Amino acid sequence: MEAAFAALLKPPARTRIVERAARAAEFRQWAVTLTTPPQGSSLQLDDEGFLQEIGTAYPVARYARFPTSAASEHLAAAEVLVSDWFNGAVPPPAMSRSWPSSVLVMCRSAMESAARTIWLLGDSDREVRRQRCAAEARSELGEMLKWAGQDRDAGTAMGRDVGTFEASATKLKAAIAKAKEASGGLEIPRYTAMTVAGAEWIDANPPRHARELLDEKPFGLLMKAWYSAGSSFAHGYSWALNVIDTEEELYGLVADLLMTAVLMTEAAISLFEAQMLVPGEQWQNDQLPARLRPTITEWAPRFWDA
């Protein structure tokens, strides 16, 4: 096992960490700047006349964009930590092998979130995209209903007025029913399955701008390994430390999870931006690095006739 991890590392790992963290930070402004799909874009047509009863005029764009915005913010925070480490602001404890756990967990979360956008938007068939986003809406509204019940119970215990709960619950249940109908009964994949699906989509559709990172590697298989390692830290398990013998291997693990999370987030952003592009127009977004242009330009036509 140790040899398998070591064979996948390319020194110097510290340099790769800094470079990939800097790359991760480039989506910070995009993540917090929302835009309406332009008239004639694939996303605008996906949303036109679709599932307007659930409280948003842009159900496909809304549910597809937020996960990647979240992934971008996770990576931006990871870059802050990496900068602190290597600038000496927050020196790692001597002889500690667990200090990068925060970055590994944020990378894992970014992978999950970016994969969700890829799954929601990755099919060229408009009806498939709509069904998937309706299934996502049903799932999220269901979680919101569950939270509302928990908040009511806590409020009751604390003596708060919870008289508006029933009206809110009734409205949520109606929206859930509409989303379920629009989804055709489709269920969204669970977290691991969703993340695997996103990585496999990248294997089948390698982003043109990132082929130097992919380098014909089996991305889906590598992602599973890095996702498992990140999950161990997210759930407080120590097994990943048992396959790391040296500090350089630990840095290598950080570098590889950063690479995986950055690549999946860039693919998700490119997919969203491709479907924001109106046929005949050139892509331009000052909040994103120009290196994404070849991928967005290549992917956009797939969705113009969908």
Q: Which residue has the higher pLDDT, 196 or 250?
A: 196
Q: Is the bond preceding 301 in cis, omega lying within 30 degrees of 0? A: no
- The reported pLDDT for the residue numbered 300 is 96
Given a contact cutoff of 8 angstroms between Cβ atoms, the answer to whether 200 and 224 are in contact is no
- The reported pLDDT for the residue numbered 7 is 45
Given a contact cutoff of 8 angstroms between Cβ atoms, the answer to whether 10 and 217 are in contact is no
- The reported pLDDT for the residue numbered 249 is 84
Task: Encode pLDDT of 224-282 as tens digits.
Answer: 888 898 898 899 988 888 888 887 888 888 999 999 999 999 999 999 999 999 999 99
- What percent helix, strand, coil does the chain show, rounded to 5? 75, 0, 25
- Residue 156: CB partners within 8 Å, gap ≥ 6? 162
Given a contact cutoff of 8 angstroms between Cβ atoms, the answer to whether 240 and 229 are in contact is yes
Radius of gyration from C-alpha coordinates of the chain: 21
- The reported pLDDT for the residue numbered 291 is 94
- The reported pLDDT for the residue numbered 244 is 82
Return the closest-CA partner of residue 266 out of 288, 287, 282: 288
Model confidence at 210, pLDDT cuts 50, 70, 90, reads: confident
- The reported pLDDT for the residue numbered 218 is 85
Q: For residue 55, give the DSSP letter.
A: S
Return the closest-CA partner of residue 24 out of 75, 86, 83, 100: 75
- The reported pLDDT for the residue numbered 83 is 86
Structure tokens at 15: 């340099």
Domain range summary for the chain, segments of one domain joined by + = 2-125+188-303
pTM: 0.90
Phi first, then psi: what are they for 280, rounded to 5°? 90, -10
C-alpha dihedral, 34 to 39 to 42 to 47, nearest 10° = 70
- The reported pLDDT for the residue numbered 92 is 61
Task: Encode pLDDT of 10-29 as tens digits.
Answer: 448 888 999 999 999 999 99
User: Is residue 3 pLDDT above 90, yes or no?
Assistant: no
Q: What does the alpha-carbon distance between residue 9 and residue 14 come to, in Å, rounded to a whole number?
A: 11
The angle, 0 to 180 degrees and rounded to 10, between the axes of the packed helices 101-121 and 191-204 is 70
Q: What does the alpha-carbon distance between residue 99 and residue 235 come to, in Å, rounded to a whole number?
A: 15
Task: Encode pLDDT of 67-114 as tens digits.
Answer: 999 999 999 999 998 888 877 666 665 545 556 888 999 999 999 999
Q: What does the alpha-carbon distance between residue 6 and residue 167 come to, in Å, rounded to a whole number?
A: 57
User: Is residue 1 pLDDT above 50, yes or no?
Assistant: no
- The reported pLDDT for the residue numbered 202 is 95
Structure tokens at 159: 């003596």
Task: Encode pLDDT of 130-185 as tens digits.
Answer: 999 999 999 999 999 999 999 899 988 988 888 888 888 899 999 999 999 999 99
Q: What does the alpha-carbon distance between residue 280 and residue 283 come to, in Å, rounded to a whole number?
A: 10
User: Is residue 4 pLDDT above 80, yes or no?
Assistant: no
- The reported pLDDT for the residue numbered 6 is 45
Model confidence at 221, pLDDT cuts 50, 70, 90, reads: confident
